[in-house]
Copies of this chain bind each other. A is one copy, B any other.
């Protein structure tokens, strides 16, 4: 019964996730096995794509529950659309922060200030990284 279906070990290997994580995701409603071979789950290869989406979203700061909601959502859900746009805006901010952080790290890696914290470049970074300057 090798009709292009994958077992859990194969999906784990291709997705880079542990089998335990895949079962956990199933519990959470993020993925589902297409069927069973005896007790054993069998997966559609597309599951691997879906998992790539899951891990990306998770890394982007979504909780697993949010991701499940996303998957479950109808395109007619306008509240959802609003949430997506809000999330995108969050990401935008986050990206800017991370870029700053990256630059800071690169600088720190060649900086000679003893307490790194005293480096004026670091200070500058900290100041620009703060969205709301203190009142």
Residues of chain A touching chain B, judged by Cβ–Cβ distance below 8 Å, are: 14, 16, 48-50, 52-53, 56-57, 59-60, 70-71, 73-75, 81-82, 84-85, 87-88, 91-92, 94-95, 97-102, 105-106, 108-117, 122-123, 125-127, 129-130, 132, 134-135
State whether B92 touches A102 (Cβ < 8 A).
yes
- Give the residues in chain B near A127, CB-CB below 8 Å: 49, 52
The residue that A114 contacts in the complex, of B59, B60, B75, B111, with Cβ under 8 A, is B75
The residue that A134 contacts in the complex, of B14, B71, B129, with Cβ under 8 A, is B14
- Give the residues in chain B near A129, CB-CB below 8 Å: 52-53, 56
Closest residue of chain B to A54 (Cβ to Cβ) is B126
